[in-house]
Structure 1
Amino acid sequence: MQKSFLIVVIVAIVGGLAIHQFVPALSASIAFFAGAIIAALLFKLLPSALSQGDGEYSGPMMTLYVGNLPYRVHEGEVKELFSQYGEVCSVRLVRDRKTGRRKGFGFVEMPEASAQQAMAQLNDFVFQERTIKVREAKTQDSDSTEKNPV
């Protein structure tokens, strides 16, 4: 999405300069405003052409719980490990609020098919001298209903 926004800004600036060149009687701010409107219209009318290169996955997603991680591991290392099985959308390693140190577990968000494969291959996998556990993450809703049954 950031790439699309950058394209719109560039088109707005170029459009504003072009309008100002062809109609010099208009002030630069009005020309820029007109360029921004034209860019916004193009962005709305041609969304597929502008967003093809983003690589965003829009299918079903799954969040995996990854436990028993080494405390020294970084998000990039976890992403590299899981990216062997598909696109990794996000990695969040949980930290202690007081000390800022990692707690040894985290969450990886991936497309569902890739997540299933990663879960099957990486559960009980030795990663940096630790045997990691990979499971489907529980939702916060299911946790709260188990603690307080109605």
Structure 2
Amino acid sequence: MQKSFLIVLAVAIIGALAIFQIAPDLNGAIAFFTGAIIASVIFSLQSKTPASTTTNSNEPYSGPTMTLYVGNLPYRVHEGEVKALFGEYGPVNSVRLVRDRKTGRRKGFGFIEMSEAGAKKAMTKLNEFDFQERTLKVREAKSQDSDKSDSNA
């Protein structure tokens, strides 16, 4: 948002200078506002063009996925913050932060289901990463089925 404002402001100033060169007897404030209006119209038309691909769409990713275990999360972190952090590396289908059944407080770990390629990138980039004054531990989550078969052996 701030970046787009700066772009519109820069284009408005350039537009004001151009208008002032064309009509030097025009008031400088009127030239600036005319440039700002033209820049805003151009910018709004540009922002309405569809993007080629977006990673933050509401549709879940349907390709190969991987579930990650994330440990040492801050207790006050919210799902949206974790989704935004991992979303930088690929599409995130779900974030589940584990809570204590009795107290409802978060336990400091959770699971993220995301694209396989994104999960591999996130594991390498975010393991041992400092996030809100905590050092994250990021691993591939073990399936519950493998845990049950190990205990039966």
TM-score, length of structure 1 as denominator length? 0.62
> Across the two proteins, how many residue pairs are aligned to each other?
97
Change (3 A) 1:59 1:95: same
Q: One-letter code of the match for 2:71?
A: G
Structure 2 matches for 1:38-53, cutoff 5 A? none
Tell me how far 1:114 sits from its aligned partner: 0.6
Say yes or no: does 1:126 pair with 2:130: yes
Change (3 A) 1:89 1:148: same
Tell me how far 1:116 sits from its aligned partner: 0.4
Tell me which residue corresponds to 2:121: 117
Q: Out of 56, 65, 71, which is 1:67 matched to? A: 71
Q: After superposition, what is the alpha-carbon deviation per residue over 1:91-143, rounded to whole angstroms, capped at 9, x for unaligned? A: 00000000000000000010100110011100000000000100000000111
Within 2, Cα distance between the matches of 1:58 and 1:104? Answer: 28
Within 2, Cα distance between the matches of 1:105 and 1:54? Answer: 24
Within 2, Cα distance between the matches of 1:97 and 1:121? Answer: 32
Change (3 A) 1:122 1:54: closer
Tell me which residue corresponds to 2:36: none
Q: One-letter code of the match for 2:112?
A: V
- The structure 1 segments of at least 4 consecutive aligned residues displaced by more than 6 Å after TM superposition are none
What is the Cα-based RMSD across aligned positions, in Å? 1.4
**Larger helix fraction of residues:** 1
TM-score, length of structure 2 as denominator length? 0.61
Say yes or no: does 1:99 pair with 2:103: yes
Within 2, Cα distance between the matches of 1:100 and 1:56? Answer: 27
Q: One-letter code of the match for 2:150?
A: E
DSSP 3-state at the match of 2:68: strand
Tell me how far 1:56 sits from its aligned partner: 3.7
